[in-house]
Structure 1
């Protein structure tokens, strides 16, 4: 009959051998999270040539409810539009007005709807913003509208928007480079959306202001979303937005 010590040794040896053939467990990487950007030009400052006043705001609110983007970048909106949109969606917001070059004051929307400008709405999950960057571009086109940029930093992500010069492509290109420079300098993962009034293959070409480490998607025309390579591109689609001549541009990413 084997000694007790021998039996214990055999049991230990078998256990060690069995353990050796088991696969080594590895910690799973955290699942990628969706991060979608919706760019909208609501054309809602009062220019009847491109909008049916007020209808685009209704359509934008419906789209935000349906698609739940992380960031919404907005052009040609009124301060009162943003008040309503945030109240009805629960999104956070930042707004900055474009300038009136003739008076030096913020440009106004028609019908007493407040200042006209650009805005960023953010899903509540992004938390509280840091100090926004909002300023007029160094290059302006002499049209009477002083174009502005708006960037909002969060703890892990930054978002920027602008509506660039419609009158002068070279000025729009300079503004685009200033916008992307600010976005890159914020020091976090960043996205931007806007009506840049530049197109692929144009003179100048919008691609010329895409920084290294970024990529760009468009609506087939002048609206674009730029994202740092940290945001893995999944797909882009255009969405019908009633009341404006511009579609919505939804770019879906993960990070």
Structure 2
């Protein structure tokens, strides 16, 4: 009888199986797995970016913007997050038009009245008027804005809502800074905002700098805030009636408020 050693043959077979990816290091056959980052298709179907960009040229925070770097930062965050909507406070109409052109988004702008007239942004001049904006990836079918019944000082405060072709209302506002105690201008504006949002008869999401920590959301709507932000925490809020919202905070480089990114599902 001829004796044949099986060891070299076994080694050869194992080596071939291993090279083919059919044998794990433990010697058990199985399929390989790969961990992938979540695709954009796996994200909830509606998303929003909120930023206070401090762009008027008058406020003490303006130096932080290193204009026009703040405009570039907004564009980069829109593109990186691929959001459906953007809400901007303390913005300039010319800058918003540029952001819309660079991103391909549609927009509406609400001019804030200051000392009885629109306030022209400065340093540099020629950037349009001061106010708040809504930008959307989908076409805007209708929009409306109006002042609150009261305001403190010389700056009128307004709300702005845009209805998209997707049937979602996107709203923003920037409330007064006189505190949130009962009877203050801020608290009155907060109550008016709650009534406005309660009256929307379709899926709706609000985001803005409300200059308060307690919520203005109407009954039945959720509240998310930037309480964990690294800058000016707790005063930017997001309210809505979309499903299962999640919040991501992104430290901002060229403004004194962090950015909020909210993702949620549309009601069926």
Given the alignment, which residue of 134, 154, 161 partners 2:164?
Answer: 154
Matching residue of 2:17: none
Shift of 1:40: 0.5
CA distance in 2: counterparts of 1:159 and 1:109, whole angstroms: 25
Matching residue of 1:35: 46
Structure with greater helix share of residues = 1
The alignment's TM-score, normalised by the length of structure 1, stands at: 0.77
SS at match of 2:117: coil
Q: For the Cα contact (< 8 Å) 2:136–2:164, is it kept in 1?
A: no
Q: For the Cα contact (< 8 Å) 2:48–2:87, is it kept in 1?
A: yes
Shift of 1:173: 2.0
Structure 1 residue 213 corresponds to structure 2 residue 203? no
Post-superposition Cα deviations, 1:32-91, rounded to whole Å, max 9, x if no partner, equal 952111110001111452132322211110000010111111000001111110010001
Structure 1 residue 175 corresponds to structure 2 residue 186? no
* Alignment length (residue pairs): 210
Post-superposition Cα deviations, 1:205-234, rounded to whole Å, max 9, x if no partner, equal x23x22111001011121111111x4322x
The alignment's TM-score, normalised by the length of structure 2, stands at: 0.74
SS at match of 1:175: helix
CA distance in 2: counterparts of 1:81 and 1:68, whole angstroms: 19
CA distance in 2: counterparts of 1:232 and 1:245, whole angstroms: 29
Matching residue of 1:13: none
CA distance in 1: counterparts of 2:70 and 2:54, whole angstroms: 8
Given the alignment, which residue of 200, 203, 224 partners 1:189?
Answer: 203
Structure 1 residue 129 corresponds to structure 2 residue 141? yes
CA distance in 2: counterparts of 1:128 and 1:248, whole angstroms: 23
Q: Aligned pair in 2 of structure 1 residues 105, 67: CA closer, same or farther (>3 Å)?
A: same
SS at match of 1:241: coil
CA distance in 2: counterparts of 1:190 and 1:48, whole angstroms: 31
Q: For the Cα contact (< 8 Å) 2:49–2:261, is it kept in 1?
A: yes
* Long gaps (5+) in structure 2: 1-41, 228-233
